[in-house]
Chain A
Amino acid sequence: MAERMGFFTDTSVCIGCKACEVACKEWNDVPDDGFVFRATSYDNTGSLGADTWRHVAFIEQDGRWLMSSDVCKHCTQAACLDVCPTGALFRTEFDTVVVQPDICNGCGYCVPACPYGVIDRRERDGRAWKCTMCYDRLRGGMEPACAKACPTDSIQFGPLDELRERAEARVERLHADGVLEARLYGESPDDGVGGDGAFFLLLDEPETYGLPPDPVVTTRDLPDMWRWAGGAALTLAGAVAVSFLRVSFPRVPFLQASFLRRR
């Protein structure tokens, strides 16, 4: 298997240009997200969703204008993947988490499972969509479209270990320069999701950027549950075989309820 690849988004050099949002859409053929003036600084796409896989947040503070490009975190322990009953979500050879649109049946279990609120169903086709870290480009040895476009290298792509080292050095440098509020988010393997494959250098509390301060994988007791879910799914195989063709899936109430309980 290839090395684990990831994103390091250094918001201290983000200029809020949104090249990442557009380059992502051009490459991945993501539809527009509507034309809504939100009056929330320069942000008019609102949040990550099925039709926005990179999202630049603008936070206006006294004398500061923070900008940060958010993206799927490609968690080490990815709840979306754990709960996906069809295997549409899978972990790639780069240790990234990807939805396969040809498998996804739009059940939507992954949506509430995500501790970051990233993955989302597209209204137009019902399926779940999110950042793939440009899985197809990675397979060809290319970097993801957003990282390539980023004018200031705020979005860096590479082997996760290398990125973590680079990020540590960057924080040290900023601290030495007096930017004491610089901190990393999502880089620690010891956090509630086992560390993110896409982590960030922030200049304020995570909540300021709309990020959960202490995300926890919603499927902590996964191994037991996965077997349970598999068995449950098998018992429904007959029904599934019929409904699969209609790209829908019967709800599995007990499964969903267990996730809700954990959130």
Chain B
Amino acid sequence: MADGGWLSRWPVIRQLKGEDGRREAARSARTDVLRPRVEEADSVARSVCPYCAVGCGQLVYVKDGKVSQIEGDPDSPISRGRLCPKGSASKQLVTHPGRQTHVLYRRPYGTHWQRLDLETAMDMIADRVVRTRRETWQQTHDGKEVRRTLGIASLGGATLDNEENYLMKKLYTALGAIQVENQARI
């Protein structure tokens, strides 16, 4: 017993051996090696909270291809490392089991989702854009050139990146889709 095994670490035994049962003697092997898990991260990315527009700095720690922690970036002059409850829940936002990672498809009049592979879905969407655009094309309106479609609309952008909004607006405008809106209107 004296040379190891769980019983030798059992606090009661150690206490009887004269160690202080409430301090060092009570430490388990797991406790002895405890370190903050961020120390083991493979990488840390400097990011920004995705919720409101204060723009708090976040540090995103990744270990073994998974986000292991997201917390405030103390360097940020805006947030000084602090986060609100939503910002503090960011790791759950990106890792929670309810997050969808597959393309889903609902047929017209269908009653359930079905899986679709990404490439097929992209092709189908492109087909629909091209078809709807042609079918609803307006070259003129009340005698004035408008070169547009009112058949295709879009909503969203306030949660996206500037670069994403830019490509959206650029593509939609070239396609002639003008009903492009986002949360800023709401």
Contact = CB atoms under 8 A, between A and B. Distances in A.
Contact of A87 (B21, B70, B72, B86): B21
A102 B21 CA distance: 16
Main secondary structure of the interface of A (DSSP, over half): helix
Nearest to A18: B85
Given A86-B12, A87-B11, A230-B16, A27 B85 contact: no
Contacts of B12: 85-87, 230, 233-234, 237, 240
B175 interface: no
Interface in A135-159: 135-137, 139-140, 142, 145, 148-151
A226 B82 contact: no
Nearest to A102: B30
Interface string B64-94: 0000011110000000011111111101100
B48 to A, nearest CB: 16
Contacts, number: 111
A82 B84 CA distance: 36
B83 A19 contact: yes
How many B residues touch the partner, as a band?
35 or more
A27 B23 contact: no
A161 B91 CA distance: 34
B186 interface: no
Contact of B34 (A87, A103, A135, A240): A135
Interface string A113-153: 00000000000000000000011110110100100111100
18 contacts: A19-B82, A21-B85, A22-B88, A23-B88, A26-B70, A26-B92, A86-B10, A87-B11, A90-B22, A90-B27, A90-B31, A100-B26, A100-B30, A140-B35, A140-B38, A151-B82, A151-B84, A240-B12
Given A19-B82, A151-B83, 15 more contacts: A22-B89, A23-B83, A23-B88, A27-B69, A85-B12, A87-B14, A87-B15, A89-B22, A100-B26, A100-B27, A142-B38, A145-B71, A148-B81, A149-B72, A149-B88
